[in-house]
Amino acid sequence: MMRFFLILFSFFTLIARAELVLQFIPVYKGVPIELGKNQGEIQIETFRFYISHIHLLHNEKPVWTSSENAHLIDLEDVHSLSILLPETLKKINAISFALGIDSLTNVSGVMGGDLDPTKGMYWSWQSGYINFKLEGVRAENTTSRPFNYHLGGYSGEKNCLQYVSLEIAKNDTLKIDFDLSSFLAELDPNHPSSIMSPGIDAVAISKIAATNFKRHAAN
């Protein structure tokens, strides 16, 4: 309950400062995810991902492009779930963004801000960023099965960067859900439940992740 009030406080604080807020809401079966809480058959311990190359569009034409390299969306930090957008945008009906970090940023060396390696989203041995990190436990019959998806990679067939496009309604808050229940349901049983390095499986699961960003039902 305290986490819920913190999210509300953060949200209304942002509304007071800007006309537009882009908000990401990770949900499981329509219910916002709470870290460390048993939510039916799952319990999520870590959920972070990078959003980059944000474009706001009107009739398929870009009207605004973010100048920032990346935004780290981290369920552990309620403030990170909301991104401030320009006040002057009046006519928009779609958004596009990338899930992950592009190759140019990856080869540019260690950076600061949301790209700081201390955020836990950088492979020092791989010299590259983790685009999407999900860790938790899933109940299967009478047993619990842990899963760890650290998805990243930026070169050739191991490039995990994915693009998302969604229609949106112009409101004070542009809300986008990440549907974790749908994501888990779409995973191929043959895929490993633990992925900790770039590879073909990481690319395949990144593609599934990108399809599970959805316009919030109330938007």
Could you tell me the two tokens for 10? 């953060």
Contact of 148 with 195, CB cutoff 8 Å: yes
- Torsions phi, psi for 92 (to 5 deg): -140, 145
DSSP single-letter state for residue 120: S
Burial class from Cβ neighbours inside 10 Å (0-12, 13-18, 19+) for residue 88 reads exposed
What is the pTM (predicted TM-score) of this model?
0.88
Q: What are phi and psi of 30, to 5 degrees?
A: 80, 0
Alpha-carbon gap, residue 203 to 58, rounded angstroms: 30
pLDDT recorded at residue 19: 65
Q: How far is CA 94 from CA 1, 52, 67, 78, 83, in A?
A: 33, 16, 18, 24, 16
Average confidence (pLDDT) per 10 residues, the chain, 219 residues: 51 51 95 94 96 92 87 97 78 93 90 94 89 93 89 96 91 90 90 92 97 84
Which regions of 4-127 does DSSP assign to beta strands (E)? 20-28, 31-32, 38-39, 42-58, 61-65, 71-74, 82-85, 94-99, 122-123
Spatial contact of 177 and 25, defined as CB atoms under 8 Å apart = yes
Query: Looking at residue 128, what is its pLDDT?
Result: 92
The Cα 37–Cα 43 span in angstroms is 6
- Integer Cα distance of 195 and 25 in angstroms: 24
pLDDT in tens, 83-142: 988 766 668 889 999 999 999 999 987 789 999 999 999 998 877 999 999 999 998 777
H/E stretch holding 183: helix 180-186
